[in-house]
Amino acid sequence: MCQALTLSRGGWIGTAGAMLFLAVVLLLKKGFVHKRLVGTLLGAVVVIGLIIMASTPVVQRITTLTQGELEDELEGRRNIWAGILFIPVMLWIVYWFFRTGFTRLKSRSRQTQGITLGAMAALVALLIHSYSDGNLQIPANALLFTALAAAGLRKV
């Protein structure tokens, strides 16, 4: 509910993407016995999300997608995309993070599996939100990205 009240469309999509990522990974994981529970919880979250998204402030925020001048939006995006040369470095870090993460999900340690899956889902949410809002320009979010990557890539 709190996520819906932030009125951040990028945050909504990021949260939904992270939850979907979590559900897919858990449902495809061999030996995971709580698949029915994950499916039920995902369905409940979708229903509750739809109810919350029907509230007036949320609907008003969604309708602002079509308002505003496209040229103003593009000019603002060009200013945010000044760090475009850093993209290859970020892509390498993300690739390395997820490659290592999916390997660590096969660990015998449930703690390692949990920390890794949580860090991966959080990074999915942060990356999706950053795509729409340029989140990584905020130092606290860049530090969060670094901490998540460190948690997922730490030596076991």
Task: Give how far the C-alpha of residue 31 lies from the chain's centroid of Cα atoms, to the nearest Å.
Answer: 25
Q: Say what the pLDDT of residue 109 is.
A: 86
Over the chain, what is the mean pLDDT? 78
In-domain check, residue 76: no
**Would you state the structure tokens that stand for residue 103, as one six-digit string?**
């390997």
In-domain check, residue 95: yes
In-domain check, residue 144: yes
What average pLDDT score do residues 128-140 get?
78
Nearest Cα neighbor of 38 from 50, 26, 21 is: 26
Q: Is the pLDDT of residue 5 over 80?
A: no
Name residue, tokens 């897919």.
Answer: 24
Domains contained in the chain, number: 1
> What are the tens digits of pLDDT across the range 35-90?
888 888 888 877 877 776 676 665 666 666 566 555 566 666 666 667 677 778 87
Q: Say what the pLDDT of residue 42 is.
A: 83
Q: Is the pLDDT of residue 129 over 70?
A: yes
In-domain check, residue 48: yes
In-domain check, residue 78: no
In-domain check, residue 18: yes
Sign, Cα dihedral of 132, 6, 20, 91:
positive
> What are the tens digits of pLDDT across the range 107-125?
888 888 888 888 899 888 8
In-domain check, residue 73: no
pTM of this prediction? 0.68
**Would you state the structure tokens that stand for residue 110, as one six-digit string?**
């449930």
Cα(24)–Cα(12) distance, integer angstroms: 18
In-domain check, residue 96: yes
* Domain that residue 120 falls in: 2-66+86-153
